[in-house]
Amino acid sequence: MNLKTAFASRFKLGAAISCMNLDTPANTKLLLDQFNSFTVENDMKPMFSLDNEANCSEPEKYNLEPKLRFDFAKPYLDFSKENHIAMRGHTLVWHNQTPKWFFCKNYDETAGLADRETMLARLENYIKGVLTFVQGNYPDQIYAWDVVNEAIDEGAMRKSLWTETIGEDFVIKAFEFAKKYVAPGVKLFYNDYDTFLPWKRDCILNLILKPLIEKNLIDGAGMQTHLQMDTSLSDYKDTLYAFGATGLDIHITEMDIHNADPSEASMDALAEKYKELFTILVNAKDEGKANITSVTFWNLLDENSWLTNFRKEVSHPLLFEGRSKAKKAYYSVLETVVEKDQIDTWEPSYPDEDYKSHFSPDYFRKMKRLIYHQVNVEPGINLCYEEFGSGDNYILSAQMGFFPVGMQQQLARMGYHVICITIRGFYPSSYVTEDYGDAWYDVFASDVIKVADKLHIDKFIYMGASHGAGIGWHLMLNAPSRVTGFIACVPGPHSLAEGAMSIRQMVLSGIIKEPPPMDPPIDNDPRREQRRAFRAMQIATNPEPDPREKAVDYGRPLLKYKTEEKLVEMLHTIEVPTLILGAIDDPISTPELMLRTAKALPHCKLVLYSNTGHNIDTDLIEELCGEADRFIKQVQKDGRVYEWADKPLPLF
């Protein structure tokens, strides 16, 4: 007995899958053996369907009818068609993972937002294009679409670029367009998270579902069902029944239950939680309280769950783990509809070869271009950047690339508006063929100012690590009036006694076989071990650098200062308040080097951490961000790097 068979008389059972699942045979076999529906976890969200290069390069041609691409979606659609398994379409309209340029005049992020009529035309033609492609090439594969996702926030309609350009009726308009072009029999859904919260339940009912029902535009409500172990299932049941009472179909669209404790007792509790949850779903269906027609888990295996990154701790939220092993929760779910003695032990015999992924790292290169914003800084040179947070409290950072979990993202969560610029010569920014000689860092620093100008940012904090901090030194010299403070992680700078070539280029050129060990071993700190493992995984999945990237030798910063004396003399002239964050065990930017730098700077605070190394900015994220936050607030208060007591301490 499997899941899809056990629940076949009640509702479809599905799972979300990613490109990595799709390219791992054991994962697709588990999907086909246990489920009769699936959702694409990411690759059919708006950013993957909107052709950024075509639209941004020919805005006049595509201004009202955006050019679409389906290279990300096709592998899933082909899989669905070849294996006769149904799909949920996720998602057409969302405030997240929709590129900002789509909302701008001429698809130019520096030109301001497009007007309502332009955006209505873009919205209609985008929805028309997606539905027409799918229905024309893959008829009957997608049985339901999440037309709009997560439009409610903080007791009202969520403020987003959709409401800024079209208005709060963008939801109605999206459903009108979807209804106009959808094939007969395909259901249209509104989807949201935390629907069990009473205030959110009421908002969704009154602001979304009832107006759409009155206009006969909607077929169903999606309850995402991302739960935690302490989530009230009584409140969940109330929402299920309230949504069911509207007469709409109900889909459980993204089910998981976060649990960071893998102990046997905790997994027993997870199994009981799932049993209670599925009992509610089965009873609601059987008693006619809610017409549930589909239930989808948000991925197949614990190891693939998005929650580990989202919650910043390893999560064990699903029914399967490891080599397709069924957890106790799997059996507890089956027990809600099947007698216990009729349930078989799930022991798949997939060969070892099936657990080897055929996933291509080039996927991440393609995705980077979609995630990043882009500005043209000079003819032939486009710089890409990521944006985290909002508001006028800007932090700019520039490097070859950024890890998805680091100081930049944490500072954005702390209220800062962080712009992370990929320097020229490195994907997804423009490649370069010119060798700037000793001026590479001056060019990089100039590019930071050009991006700031394009984004209308006057003054900002600059933050950089390693070579990114090297760019900061050139900013301090070339544009000190624009930078209110400098947060320098493992910044050197090196004297020419150590040579002019960067460690990176020494490795690429074969001068050294590999860089020195960047980080010391960690003593009993699972959180940091996990972060290092994540960093190693990211590096391992990175594609081979383009030959044009390998050819870039930007050297070391401040190459024109030929002696240690000249370098220290220059550091004495920097007036910008500086926070240096360093590591005792850093073999590149050594404590001695940073102490020399701190002594030379007139306005500097130096903080050194033990038991960490050159990758400190992804190792001790919260600690460094706490220091950075205190530094920024103090600099913004009175320009000092230290706090001046309002009441002097008494002298003894």
Q: Quote the CA–CA distance of 579 and 632 in Å, as a whole number.
A: 9
Q: Quote the CA–CA distance of 438 and 561 in Å, as a whole number.
A: 11
Non-local CB neighbours of 396 within 8 Å, separated by 6+ positions: 418, 419, 421, 448, 451, 452, 457, 460, 461, 462, 463
The token duo for 17 is: 């899958």
Which of 42, 60, 181, 58 has its CA nearest to residue 125?
181
Which residue reads 């006619």 in tokens?
288
Q: Quote the CA–CA distance of 598 and 587 in Å, as a whole number.
A: 18
Is the previous residue joined to 25 through a cis bond, with omega within 30 degrees of 0?
A: no
What letter would DSSP give residue 573? Answer: T
Decide if 109 is catalytic: no
CA 512 to chain centre: 35
What letter would DSSP give residue 208? Answer: I
Which of 330, 333, 317, 327 has its CA nearest to residue 228?
317
- Whole-angstrom CA distances from 21 to 31, 103, 350, 364 are 9, 32, 15, 15
Which of 462, 466, 473, 474 has its CA nearest to residue 491?
466
Which of 495, 600, 51, 9 has its CA nearest to residue 286?
9
Q: Quote the CA–CA distance of 64 and 128 in Å, as a whole number.
A: 12
Catalytic residue among 254, 321, 335, 386: 254
- What is the rounded end-to-end Cα distance, in angstroms, of the chain? 81
**Pairing relation of β-strands 291-297 and 86-94?**
unpaired
Q: Quote the CA–CA distance of 483 and 134 in Å, as a whole number.
A: 49
Decide if 117 is catalytic: no
Check if the beta carbon of residue 167 is closer than 8 Å to that of residue 116. yes
Which residue reads 């691409």 in tokens?
69
Say whether 87 sits in a helix, a strand or coil.
strand
Q: What is the three-state SS of 8-50?
A: CCCCEEEEEECHHHHCCHHHHHHHHHHCCEEEECCCCCHHHHE
Catalytic residue among 41, 109, 124, 150: 150
Question: How many C-beta atoms surround the C-beta of residue 335 within 10 A?
Answer: 18
Exposure on the CB side of residue 191, measured as CA atoms within 13 A: 27
Say whether 272 sits in a helix, a strand or coil.
helix
Residues marked active site are found at 150, 254
